[in-house]
Amino acid sequence: MLSIKLPQLFHSHQIPKVFREDSIISGYRRPHSSALDCVLSSFQLTNETLNIWTHFLPTWYFLWRLCALCSSMNVLSDSYTWPLLIYMLLICVYPFTSSCAHTFSSMSPESRHVCYFFDYGALSLYSLVGSVL
């Protein structure tokens, strides 16, 4: 039978300062984790688990709604639907980007900064386009 060992969790005093969050004492994943460890840690109770799943599940819901929209309307030929299509695409992208950021932020300090850069960028793009439309 397949046996998967979940990664060990740490307290805030056991990890480098760059990986710490204010007011979070325990539940940290190992710094410099592999991508597989990051994915496996999304199935255990860490300080990022809720963030990962509350962003990942809505991504699939909005993707399902986007597919339903595209199948019910001719969105490519009707230019009046383009703003809705762009908005729906961004509504799928920003929670997925956030889920990836929370999942892979413990790989290294550089990956943490890059992940959250894309997370904030996607959220800003969604906010900008949403306010214009």
Distance, in Å, from the CA atom of 111 to the CA atom of 5, rounded to the nearest integer, reads: 24
Task: Decide if 20 contacts 34 (C-beta within 8 A).
Answer: no
Residue 104 lies in a domain: yes
Give residue-wise pLDDT tens across range 45-75: 988 999 999 999 999 999 999 999 889 888 8
In the chain, pLDDT over 70 holds for what percent of residues?
Answer: 98
Element (H, E) at 39: helix 35-41
At 42, is the secondary structure helix, strand, or coil?
A: coil
Is residue 54 in a domain? Answer: yes
List 29's β-bridge partners, or say none: 9
The answer to whether residue 10 is domain-embedded is no
pLDDT of res. 2: 53
- Going along 4-131, which residue ranges are E strands? 9-11, 26-29
Is residue 43 in some structural domain?
no
How crowded is residue 52: how many other Cβ atoms within 10 Å of its Cβ?
A: 22
Provide the whole-model pTM. Answer: 0.86
Which range of residues forms the domain containing residue 100? Answer: 49-133
- What tens digit of pLDDT does each residue of 99-118 get? 999 999 999 999 999 999 99
Taking 90 as the threshold, does the pLDDT of residue 79 lie above it?
no
Residue 64 resides in a domain: yes
Domain contains 26: no
pLDDT band for position 130 (cuts 50, 70, 90)? confident
